[in-house]
Amino acid sequence: MQDVPQLFKALSDETRLRILGLLLEGELCVCDLVAVLKTPQSTVSRHLAYLRTAGLVNGRRQGIWMHYSLAAGKKDLHKHLVDLIRGDLGSLPQVRRDRLTLRRYFSRKGAGCNG
């Protein structure tokens, strides 16, 4: 039960929900999230650390870059919440706008970081 409040706290922040919505597109580098959210790297990294601690995202290092993806979920409640995120978060207006911005960003920049 100890991790349940942390899980819900992780979902109670708009920026973290936006990050989860962007990760619906697949694995992303911190630099991609910074560009779309127009938020400082330190802020994005702090939110990602919170999501990672809550078990909602996985992180993978590639050189100097960190790449993040949605976690599968470990316990039943976790799995249900991740399924809800995958199924319903993408329909929120801000998440749809962010995902469109991400696609435009990739079309200009090309996929992935320099790492």
Is 73 domain-assigned? yes
Is 36 domain-assigned? yes
- Res 102: pLDDT: 95
For the chain, give the DSSP string. Answer: -THHHHHHHHTT-HHHHHHHHHHTTS-EEHHHHHHHHT--HHHHHHHHHHHHHTTSEEEEEETTEEEEEE---SSHHHHHHHHHHHHHGGGSHHHHHHHHHHHHHHHHH-SS---
What CATH number should be reported for the domain holding residue 72? 1.10.10.10
- What is the percent of the chain where pLDDT is above 90? 62
Is 114 domain-assigned? no
- Res 2: pLDDT: 56
Is 91 domain-assigned? yes
Range of the domain at 11: 3-107
Q: Looking at the 3D structure of the chain, how many domains does it have?
A: 1
Is 115 domain-assigned? no
CA gap 37, 59 in Å, rounded: 19
- Res 85: pLDDT: 85
What pLDDT digit, counting tens, does each position of 5-40 carry? 888 899 999 999 999 999 999 999 999 999 999 999
Task: Answer with the residue of higher pLDDT: 42 or 81.
Answer: 42
pTM over 0.75: yes
